[in-house]
């Protein structure tokens, strides 16, 4: 039984070979995700008793009772000697399953993340809304933490983060940083944002703009002179803008287009690829910087024109996702199959790659 294999050993083995995630599902051996691929370990099958005990040990009795009532809980935990992990505990087939993602000990500087040059300018913005988007596991949290770290090392500002859960532990340098965890320090994103403006922040990080109330509060904060950083689970800039607008009732959409046009500074969309030139991962990144032309497109609901504007403003550091993917492929960093599988327009990219 896997009870004989402590959680710390499972995690240590996974980290030693560079895995990003560990999955504990009853009836299967512990699973790891290594360079985007899910694979089994050679450890014994996970038992219901083991996942129950692991969840209880990580949460403590009070939070474990909350988890049993909700049957799904996001949180972070620190394992001595190994580091921090983002955790989701949930029920499946009547037993507890656990998904854990390793969080790096240190926040990597933006310069180490293989991101486009234009992104290094975003932490210097005095106000407005910056969105980092992509699927789960695309590196959004890493990019946001690096942006906050750059602000922290450069400016004397008050930074407040609202996270679900807290991932990177950020230490104040020139700036003063407060990290608030949803469900522990405040009930939800909308409530945290409602009160954050009374806490004299300069920079606000919102873990995710996941609903109408959170979106409204985040845009209002950006509109009132704060720099707001947040995420969405979207794949490119046009989809991001449409997703935000679609959250609102039809009667409010013209107003939110105007507010978004005034406050949005940039959308950074990320996809992670397995490298073929060396071990590890590399991001494909779309960058949209808001120019007057882009603001007019948002205001006038001409979202379909945004890709063309991005393509014709490369000198400003903008690039479409497919252009980023093509560059990675031509530089020998990713495979053709991976490139085409994650492109927004695979047929068009295929032609460009063959040209």
Is 93 in the same domain as 121? no
Residues 97 and 17 in one domain: yes
Q: How far is Cα 248 from Cα 256, in angstroms, rounded to an integer?
A: 8
Are 153 and 174 in contact, with CB atoms under 8 Å apart?
yes
Say what the pLDDT of residue 313 is. 96
H or E element, residue 154: helix 140-154
- Tell me how far apart the alpha carbons of residues 144 and 179 are, in angstroms, rounded to a whole number: 13
- CATH code of the domain covering residue 18: 3.30.450.90
Mean pLDDT, to the nearest integer, of 118-137?
Answer: 96
- At residue 277, does pLDDT exceed 70? yes
Q: Residue 237 and residue 310: Cα distance in Å, rounded?
A: 10
Q: Which of 48, 75, 103 is the last residue of a domain?
A: 103
19-42 mean pLDDT: 94
Domain end call among 57, 84, 103: 103
165: pLDDT confidence band, cut at 50, 70 and 90?
confident
pLDDT at 106: 84
pLDDT at 20: 92
CA distance 102 to 84: 6
Residue with structure tokens 């051996």? Answer: 29
- Kindly report the number of other CB atoms within 10 A of residue 221's CB atom: 22
What kind and span of H or E run contains 163?
Answer: strand 158-163
Tell me the per-residue pLDDT of 240-271, one tens digit each, with 9 for 90 and over.
999 999 999 999 999 999 999 999 999 999 99
DSSP state of 26: B
Same-domain check for residues 162 and 208? yes
Range of the structural domain that residue 87 is part of? 2-103
Q: What is the CATH number of the domain that holds 190?
A: 3.40.50.300
| Same domain, residue pair 66 and 128 | no
Question: What's the whole-number mean pLDDT along residues 125-142?
Answer: 95
pTM value is 0.88
Where does the pLDDT of residue 16 fall: very low under 50, low under 70, confident under 90, or very high at 90 and above? very high
| Same domain? 68 vs 213 | no
| Number of domains present in the structure of the chain | 2
Looking at residue 233, its pLDDT comes to 95
Residue 79 has pLDDT above 60, yes or no: yes
Give yes or no: residues 59 and 207 share one domain: no
Q: How do residues 291-349 score in pLDDT, each as one tens digit?
A: 999 999 999 999 999 999 999 999 999 999 999 999 999 999 999 999 999 999 999 99
Q: Regarding predicted confidence, which is higher, 106 or 326? A: 326
- What does DSSP say about strands 281-289 and 264-274: parallel, antiparallel, or unpaired? antiparallel
Buried b (16+ CB within 10 A) or exposed e, 172-182: eeebebebbbb
Mean pLDDT for the stretch of residues 185-196: 92
Q: What three-state secondary structure class fits 95?
A: strand
In degrees and rounded to multiples of 5, residue 308 shows phi and psi of: -65, -40
Is residue 303 within 8 Å of 244, Cβ to Cβ? no
Helix H, strand E, coil C: the string for 188-249 is CHHHHHHHHHHHCCCEEEECCCCCHHHHHHHHHHHHCCCEEEEEECCCCHHHHHHHHHHHCC
Residue 197 has φ and ψ, to the nearest 5°, of -65, -20
Closest by CA to 103, choosing from 81, 80, 86, 89, is 86
Same domain, yes or no, for 189 and 260? yes
Element spanning 77, H or E = strand 72-79
Average pLDDT over the chain, rounded to whole? 94
pLDDT at residue number 145? 96
Please identify, among 103, 137, 170, the residue that sits at the C-terminal boundary of a domain. Answer: 103
Q: Is the pLDDT of residue 183 over 90?
A: no
Per-residue pLDDT of 210-233, as tens digits, reads 899 999 999 999 999 999 999 999
Question: What is the token pair recorded at 27?
Answer: 């009836």
Query: What percentage of residues in the chain have a pLDDT greater than 90?
Result: 89
pLDDT of residue 105: 73
117 and 78 part of one domain: no
> Coil, strand, or helix at residue 177?
strand
pLDDT score, position 4: 56
- Give the pLDDT of residue 349: 92
* pLDDT for the residue 2: 38
Are the C-beta atoms of 79 and 8 separated by less than 8 Å?
yes
Measured distance CA(244)–CA(238) in Å, rounded: 10
Q: Is the pLDDT of residue 1 over 50?
A: no
- Upper half-sphere CA count for residue 131 (Cβ side, 13 Å): 29
Kindly state whether residues 146 and 246 are assigned to the same domain. Answer: yes
Average pLDDT of span 105-109:
87
Mean pLDDT, rounded, for 177-205: 93
Query: 36 and 96 share a domain?
Result: yes
Do 95 and 198 share a structural domain? no
Sign of the C-alpha dihedral computed for residues 118, 119, 120 and 122 taken in this order: positive
């Amino acid at each position: 039984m896997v009870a004989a294999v402590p959680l710390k050993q499972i995690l240590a083995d996974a980290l030693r070979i560079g895995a990003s995630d560990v999955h504990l599902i009853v009836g299967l051996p512990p699973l790891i995700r290594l360079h985007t691929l899910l694979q089994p370990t050679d450890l014994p099958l996970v038992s219901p008793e083991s996942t129950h005990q692991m969840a209880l040990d990580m949460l403590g009795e009070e939070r474990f009772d909350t988890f049993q009532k909700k049957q799904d809980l996001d949180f972070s935990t620190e394992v001595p000697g190994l580091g921090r992990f983002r955790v989701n505990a949930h029920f499946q087939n009547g037993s507890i399953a656990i998904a854990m993602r390793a969080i790096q000990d240190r926040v990597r500087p933006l310069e180490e993340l293989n991101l486009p040059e234009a992104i290094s300018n975003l932490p210097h913005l005095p106000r407005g809304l910056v969105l980092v988007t992509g699927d789960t596991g695309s590196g959004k949290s890493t990019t946001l933490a690096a942006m906050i770290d750059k602000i922290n090392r450069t400016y004397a500002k008050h930074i407040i983060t609202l996270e679900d859960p807290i991932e990177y532990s950020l230490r104040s340098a020139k700036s003063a940083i407060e990290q608030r965890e949803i469900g522990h320090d405040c009930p939800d994103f909308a409530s945290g944002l409602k009160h954050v403006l009374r806490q004299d922040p300069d920079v606000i990080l919102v873990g995710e703009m996941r609903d109408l109330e959170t979106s409204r509060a985040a845009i209002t904060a950006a509109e009132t002179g704060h720099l707001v950083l947040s995420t969405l689970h979207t794949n490119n800039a046009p989809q991001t803008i449409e997703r935000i607008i679609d959250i609102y009732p039809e009667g409010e959409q013209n107003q939110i287009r105007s507010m978004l046009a005034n406050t949005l500074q940039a959308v950074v969309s990320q996809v992670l690829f397995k490298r073929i030139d060396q071990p590890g991962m590399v991001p494909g990144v779309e960058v949209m910087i808001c120019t007057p032309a882009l603001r007019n497109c948002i205001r006038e609901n001409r979202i379909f024109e945004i890709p063309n504007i991005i393509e014709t403003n490369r000198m400003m550091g903008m690039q479409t996702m497919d252009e980023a993917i093509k560059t990675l492929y031509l530089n020998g960093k990713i495979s053709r199959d991976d490139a085409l599988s994650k492109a927004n327009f695979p047929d068009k990219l295929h032609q460009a790659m063959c040209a």
